[in-house]
């Protein structure tokens, strides 16, 4: 339900955060929520390096499903940034597939991008964070970590696993000044809302049930910038006491029975 392709402008309220001198890595930062996060962090003064298959020449182009390529990219990240203060794991993918005829290749790739890549990057980059006694990690998960729907097994498993990994990492890194949290969006207007060529935000279930009948209390999908602001707070020095948590940003969707 998360992650249209328009590049966001600098989100309003960037001055609420000060990332001057901070170095940040954002996966999936070439579009959607990830791009909104990268724009906001840069507007607030951070040096941001994007890791993405669609990354531009100033960033790091890497297939996050390729473990060897991802591990090889880590020295390049550290060489360019020196160290890392903020890690935002936002890259994600979704392939609809029924349990009884599960596309195993798509299942493996979904877990590789959505779960394994964030874990590998936490393993590789939280060491330098711990050594310097400061760090912030924000993993973008989904309400799918706790709420499921048909045809989404791989996505549900990957997001549930990432929230579990968030909690465990938070416990282990707390003594080192590294706070680890997750942000769980609901419906967001990005290219990931397009499944099999159909935008779910324009379909009858969304417009009639979620909007018309108020199944989604705020009666609209989120804008990527709205998710980015929550991520920015958790990634900032202003967050000094939240760790091991998943912050739900879904317009009230999961509050309804």
Active-site positions?
155
CA–CA gap between residue 176 and residue 148 (Å, rounded)? 35
CA–CA gap between residue 203 and residue 209 (Å, rounded)? 10
* 185 backbone φψ class: left, alpha, beta (φ>0; ψ -120 to 50): beta
What percent helix, strand, coil does the chain show, rounded to 5?
Answer: 45, 15, 40
Torsion 76-161-144-139 (CA) sign: negative
* Exposure letters 72-88 (e unless 16+ CB within 10 A, then b): ebbeebbeebeebbbbb
Count of Cβ atoms closer than 10 Å to residue 167 Cβ: 16
Classified as helix, coil or strand, 49 is strand
Classified as helix, coil or strand, 94 is coil
Distance set, CA 250 to CA 64, 115, 184 (Å): 26, 21, 8
């Amino acid at each position: 339900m998360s992650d249209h392709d328009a590049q966001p402008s600098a989100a309003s309220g960037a001055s609420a955060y000060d990332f001057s001198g901070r170095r940040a890595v954002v996966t999936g930062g070439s579009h959607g929520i990830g791009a909104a996060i990268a724009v906001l962090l840069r507007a607030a003064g951070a040096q941001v390096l994007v890791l993405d298959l669609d990354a531009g020449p100033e960033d790091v182009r890497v297939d996050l499903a390729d473990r060897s390529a991802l591990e090889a990219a880590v020295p390049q990240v550290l060489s360019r940034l020196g160290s890392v203060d903020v890690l935002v794991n936002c890259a994600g993918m979704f392939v609809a597939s029924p349990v009884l005829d599960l596309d195993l290749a798509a299942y493996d790739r979904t877990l590789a991008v959505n779960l394994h890549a964030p874990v590998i990057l936490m393993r590789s980059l939280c060491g330098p964070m711990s050594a310097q006694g400061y760090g912030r990690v924000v993993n973008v998960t989904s309400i799918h970590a706790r709420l499921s729907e048909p045809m989404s097994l791989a996505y549900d498993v990957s997001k549930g696993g990432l929230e579990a990994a968030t909690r465990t990492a938070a416990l282990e890194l707390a003594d080192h000044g590294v706070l680890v949290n997750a942000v769980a969006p609901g419906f967001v207007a990005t290219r990931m809302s397009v499944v099999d060529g159909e935008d779910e935000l324009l379909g009858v279930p969304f417009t009639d049930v979620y909007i018309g009948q108020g199944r989604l209390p705020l009666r609209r999908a989120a804008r990527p910038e709205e998710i980015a602001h929550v991520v920015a707070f958790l990634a900032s020095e202003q967050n000094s006491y939240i760790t091991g948590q998943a912050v739900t940003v879904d317009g009230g969707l999961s509050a309804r029975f």
